[in-house]
Amino acid sequence: MSETRLSFKEMCARFEVTPRTLRYYEYIELLTPEREGRSRWYGPREVARMTLILRGRKFGFQLEEIRQWLQMYERDGTEAQMRTWVEMADRQLVQLGDERAQLDSAIEELKALRDVTLKELGE
């Protein structure tokens, strides 16, 4: 494996993604590897972008939001990108908080129904 470039297969292995996922990220222009014939090569820029993409997905961001955010760096620079990141993070934190509250409620309701059923079974 080259230190400066990763092959398609190495990129999939490094980030634990399927070839289909990697090809899709290229299709929607999240990644733009170098091409040599039929081979694709991913340099430091693409590796860094992939790290940010997967982190964004982990936090629940939509791929289109991630794509626009990544493009912003090239168009408007680091400060604009960082300010937008804070706004996106604030919105996502509210969303995740709402989802957590819904999950907590569902868990409590399920536990209560389980307990009622156990009582009816005499256990």
The number of domains in the chain is: 1
Do 19 and 8 contact (CB within 8 A), yes or no?
yes
Signed CA dihedral, 11, 63, 88, 77: sign only:
positive
Q: What is the CATH classification number for the domain harbouring 100?
A: 1.10.1660.10
| Residues ≥6 apart with Cβ < 8 Å to 89 | 59
**For 24-67, what is each residue's pLDDT tens digit?**
999 999 999 999 999 999 999 999 999 999 999 999 999 999 99
| Chain centroid offset of residue 35 CA | 25
Is 50 exceeded by the pLDDT of residue 101? yes
pTM above 0.85, yes or no: no
Residues spanned by the domain of 75: 6-121
| CA gap 24, 7 in Å, rounded | 16
Is 1 inside any structural domain?
no
